[in-house]
Amino acid sequence: MIPENMRQELQNRIASAVTNREAAVDVMKSLQAHYGWLTDEAVVEAAELLGLTPLQIEELATFYEMIYRRPVGRYVIHVCDSISCWAMGGETVMGKIAGLLGISVGGTTADGLFTLLPCCCLGNCGQSPTLMIGDTIYNRVTAESAAELIEQYRNP
Amino acid sequence: MPKLIIDNIPVEVAEGTTVLEAAQSVDIPIPHFCWHPALGKAGACRVCAVKMLDGPVKGIQMSCMLPVMEEMVVSTTDPEAMAMRRSVIEWLMINHPHDCPVCDEGGECQLQDYTIAGGHGIRRYTGTKRTHVNQQLGPYIEHEMNRCIQCYRCVRFYQEYAGGTDFGVMGSAGRVYFGRFQDGPLESPFSGNLVDICPTGVFTDKTARFRARYWDYDMAPSICQECSLGCSITPVARYRELLKIIGRRNDAVNAWFICDRGRFSAATPVNNPLRPRTPRIEGREAGWDSALDAIVQRVSELLKNHGPGCIALVGSQRLSLEGMALLPELSTIMLADAPCYFCDERERVQTSAAVTGLTGAISASMADIRQADCIAIVDVDLMAEAPMMVLAVRQAWRSGAGVYSIGETVDLPCECTAVATLDDVPLATAQRPVIICGTSGFTTARQYVSLPMAKGEPVKISCILPGPNSFSAALFSHEHAAISLEQAISSGRIKGIIAVEADIPPELSADIPVIAALDWRNTDTVAAAQIILPTTAWAEMDGTCINNEGRAQHFRKTMNPGLPVHGLNPAGHPSHLHRTIPPGGDLRPAWQIIDELIVRMGGTRTTEQLNGKWEKLRHLDAEGDGLPIYEL
């Protein structure tokens, strides 16, 4: 259950959209921020708010890679694995991070702090290889700078 | 009309036709998965590749996505195009399981056909395959997502064509998944079409699971008997059991699809183990001769005691045209009044008014509905009485038609404006307006046919009738000035009833004996009858019926009658009786029994059931579109 003030806020957001569907991603992101990931309950709540069926929400939710339909850690690390970043050493960065965290790609650390996910183009090819932690994008990442980044998030 | 050359054959087709369709028009088949005539193109499967040798476009192209253009030279057999198709097939097969032997689609699988035709006989890929978790989609449809080749046909049919909202496509890239949010029965009343439309075995008919292979099927072109629309179907039978029903194309009626009611409920009564299988006299099994003689004897006795007019012959709206056509002769020879084709007087009056009020010019086919630009639905629950009409209305709406409802609120998978009367519907300014009504609303709707039109065609009417062959019943009833059974009984002269595939309300036959019931269903009337003569069901005989539009359609015999092998008590096997017909298989079409009674009453045997104006229907092609009776 989402709090009443959040419900009201989302209803206002939906009312200001030309079509309900247009507000779907915003609603899903808010619910995801609230629950930590987009739970089954959240899908049904989003459907009710938007006047869509749960299936119609699920179609959108599973299409976007930054909507999480499974539990994730506090920080989600998206490492770009598209062509530009791959050519500039993205694979090495991904391998380094996986090694540092002791998880495989797609996994979450035992302390629930990090989830490592590949992602498809962050629109930052000019600064490749690139990755995103939470909402922050990092440019020209190397194995060394990746290690520093992880350390920063571990001990802020 | 652009002219082009396909495999050295000059072709001229209408503007907007795709290269794939142009090739089909000259019998050149191009493999395809995502393209479907009713759904159009998606460009998703890449298997319809052809090579453009000359003209405005060059090189390898997807023939389903490419509209024909002047001076195109197309090759479907070019080595480059063939290599492309072979590679695409191989790629589609990478994740497809090797489970054809245990897949119900095996033998009727487009993927199987094109894989073999494309020359991909041996797998090279040895890696792991993508796998999915299947869903429980209810009692009718089996889900096996591992077989999916991502053609998107299912979701395009379910959401776009049929307006369903509980089934769709999830995920992206190599993980796309076609299903529901969670397990549960599919909500659309047209969900069964997923089985027909899936080019492989992702959706198969659960009701016929693991029962037979395509090459063992008994199949014939047939007509659905579940409502008055008369959709084209192909029933599938094996071992004397009606296994499943497949939709069959008829552009004038149902186009490509059928409803779940037609698909999943028609087989049950045909397979019912309690069906009448042998003639019976007072509950005891009897031979055909003695049962027929007993009827003649009882009729003669009644005639001796009460004089002419004491027998009521009752037909029904589910009896085939052949049976209906012979009934008047039997009633003459039994000195009875004209046969009652209806039990209920009100139903007779209303149905007759509708059928006699329709003409070829004003009667709308389902194709007319799909092409209409203004549709008024008057007081009729289409989902209950004629489900496929809902799908036709939706297609019109998708093309921009306005849909209005008057009276009873209807739940349609399209926008629908509720209005008070037909005057509130902008019929006069439409190009191709149609009114859909039930028999009760016909008289009102009929007045709008003469509505002065601003520029469009006059209003057409589609009147939903109570039963699969109501149109014929009303025609015969009108022709012979017949009254309903209700009215006949109220005259007080009726002393005995002969019911021919008729469901007689118990209150009507309370004081009057049902001398005989001819039927294939196990009805209350059969239970109450003194003498029972078992008839063949629609799937076990040839016949003709006329749909609500007035379109006569022929249905062919699918299977030989008999007790289904499935479900027989094994203790009864092996049977030590010598017989040339299977157990429970000695049934006759109703018209043959009527004819036999005519002969035994002293009449002459009928050599041809369809005479006079019906003569033209004798050679009606069961695989054609049917024939509007206005053209007879």
pTM exceeds 0.90: yes
Cross-strand bridge partners of residue B404:
B376, B417
Does residue A1 or residue B384 have the better pLDDT? B384
Where in the sequence is the domain holding A125, given as residue range(s)? 75-154
**In what side-by-side order are the strands of the sheet with B9-12?**
B9-12, B3-6, B72-75, B49-54, B59-62
Domain boundary at B221, B243, B271, which? Answer: B271
Alpha helices in B129-251, H assignment, sequence order? 153-155, 193-197
Residues A82, A54 within the same domain: no
Q: Which of B92, B112, B139 is the last residue of a domain?
A: B92
Question: Does residue B632 form part of some domain?
Answer: no
> What is the torsion angle, in degrees rounded to the nearest 10, for the CA atoms of residue B289, residue B291, residue B294 and residue B298?
-140
Query: Is residue B236 classed as helix, strand or coil in its secondary structure?
Result: strand
How far is the C-alpha of B594 from the C-alpha of B601, rounded, in Å?
11
**CATH assignment at residue A42:** 1.10.10
Cβ–Cβ gap B168/A62 under 8 Å: no
Rounded Cα gap, residues B527 and B177, in angstroms = 51
The distance of Cα A124 from the centroid of its chain, to the nearest Å, equals: 16
For chain A, the domain total comes to 2
Which residue in B384, B327, B310, B372 sits closest to B502, CA to CA? B327
Q: By the 8 A CB rule, do B246 and B254 touch? A: no
Question: H or E stretch including A95?
Answer: helix A90-101
Give the domain range for residue B181. Answer: 126-271
Q: Is residue B557 domain-resident?
A: yes
Q: How far apart are CA A122 and CA B414, in angstroms?
A: 39
Task: Name every chain B residue with its beta carbon within 8 A of the beta carbon of A56.
Answer: 165, 168
Tell whether A51 and A110 lie within a shared domain.
Answer: no
Would A68 be classed as within a structural domain?
no
User: Does residue A18 fall inside a structural domain?
Assistant: yes
Chain-chain contact of B168 with A59 (C-beta, under 8 angstroms): yes
Of B85, B48, B88, B90, which Cα lies nearest the Cα of B65? B48
CATH of the domain at A88: 3.40.30.10
| pLDDT confidence of residue B187 | 96
A54·B182 Cβ contact <8 A = yes
Is residue A69 one of the residues assigned to a domain? no
Residues B372 and B322 in one domain: no
pLDDT of residue B367: 97
Q: Could you tell me if B482 and B344 lie in one domain? A: yes
Looking at the fold, whether B134 and B267 belong to one and the same domain comes out as yes
- Are B529 and B279 within 8 A, CB to CB? no
Beta-carbon contacts below 8 Å between A and B? 32
- Which residues have CB under 8 Å from B506's CB, separation 6+? B524, B528
Say if residue B266 is in the same domain as residue B285.
Answer: no
User: Is B358 domain-assigned?
Assistant: no
Q: B145 and B225, same structural domain?
A: yes
Cis peptide leading into residue B269 (ω within 30°): no
Distance of CA A95 to the CA centre of its chain: 19
* Domain stops at, among A24, A42, A63: A63
Dihedral sign from CA coordinates of B158, B159, B163, B165: positive
Domain annotation covers residue A132: yes
The DSSP bridge partners found for residue B498 are B313, B516
Q: How many CB atoms lie within 10 A of CB A25?
A: 15
Within 13 Å and on the Cβ side, how many CA atoms surround B26? 17
B contacts of A118 (beta carbons < 8 Å): none
CA distance B169 to chain A (A): 6
Identify whether the C-beta of residue B539 lies closer than 8 Å to the C-beta of residue B275.
no
| SS3 category, B387 | helix
Spans of chain B below 70 pLDDT? 409, 573-575
Interface of B with A in 153-192 (CB under 8 A): 165-172, 175, 177, 180-182
SS (H, E, C) A64-94: CCCCCCCCCCCEEEEEECCHHHHHCCHHHHH
My answer on whether A109 and A150 are in the same domain is yes
Mean pLDDT of all residues in A76-95? 95
B412, B403 Cβ separation under 8 angstroms: yes
> Which residues, 6+ apart, have CB-to-CB distance to A156 below 8 Å?
none
Domain-embedded: residue B267: yes
Residue B181 to residue A55, Cβ atoms within 8 A: yes
Residues B321 and B367 grouped into a single domain: no
Tokens of B306: 């009460």
Instruction: Classify residue A29: in a domain, yes or no.
Output: yes
SS (H, E, C) B547-598: CCCCEEEEECCCCCCCCCCCCCCHHHCCCCCCCCCCCCCCCECHHHHHHHHH
Question: Are residues A49 and A86 part of one domain?
Answer: no
- Pair (A148, A82) in one structural domain: yes
Q: What is residue B574's predicted lDDT score, i.e. its pLDDT?
A: 63
CB–CB of B166/A53 below 8 Å? yes
Let me know if residue B451 belongs to a domain.
yes
Contact B363, B252 (CB under 8 A): no
Tokens matching residue B144: 């096996």
Same domain, residue pair A23 and A49: yes
> Per the domain annotation, does A117 fall within a domain?
yes
Q: What is the mean pLDDT of residues A75-104?
A: 95
Residue B289 resides in a domain = yes
Residue A70: inside a domain: no
Residue A148 included in any domain: yes
Q: Which of B167, B170, B178 to mutate to test the interface with A (most CBs of A within 10 A)?
A: B170
Amino acid B573: pLDDT: 67
Of all helices (H) and strands (E), which one includes residue B61?
strand B59-62
User: Does A43 sit within 8 Å of B170, measured CB to CB?
Assistant: no
Residue B36 lies in a domain: yes
A79 and A56 in a common domain:
no
Residue B344 and residue B476 in one domain: yes
- For residue B62, the domain's CATH number is 3.10.20.740
* Residue B20 belongs to some domain of the structure: yes
Distance of alpha carbon A80 from alpha carbon A84, whole angstroms: 9
Boundary residue ending a domain (B405, B426, B458): B458
Residue among B351, B545, B377 at smallest CA distance from B462: B377
Residues B338 and B479 grouped into a single domain:
yes
Contact, A88 vs A95, CB < 8 A?
A: no
Same-domain pairing of A49 and A80? no
What is the distance between the alpha carbons of residues B308 and B338, in angstroms, rounded to a whole number? 12
Q: How far is CA B332 from CA B308, B338, B339, B428, in A?
A: 10, 8, 9, 49
| Number of structural domains found in chain B | 4
Q: Are residues A79 and A142 in the same domain?
A: yes
Give contacts of A62 with chain B, Cβ < 8 Å.
170-172, 175, 177
Taking only the tens place, the pLDDT of each residue in B382-430 is 999 999 999 999 999 999 999 999 987 678 999 999 999 999 999 999 9
Same domain for A93 and A43: no
Torsion angles phi and psi, residue A74, rounded to 5: -65, -40
Name the domain boundary from A40, A63, A86.
A63
Give yes or no: residues A85 and A19 share one domain.
no
Neighbours of B486 (CB within 10 A): 18
CA gyration radius, chain B: 27
CATH number at residue B547: 3.40.50.740
Dist CA B627 CA B620 (whole Å): 8
Residues A88 and A31 both lie in one domain? no
Rg (CA), chain A: 17
Contacts of A43 in chain B (CB under 8 A): 181
Measured between beta carbons, the chain A residues lying within 8 angstroms of B169 are 59
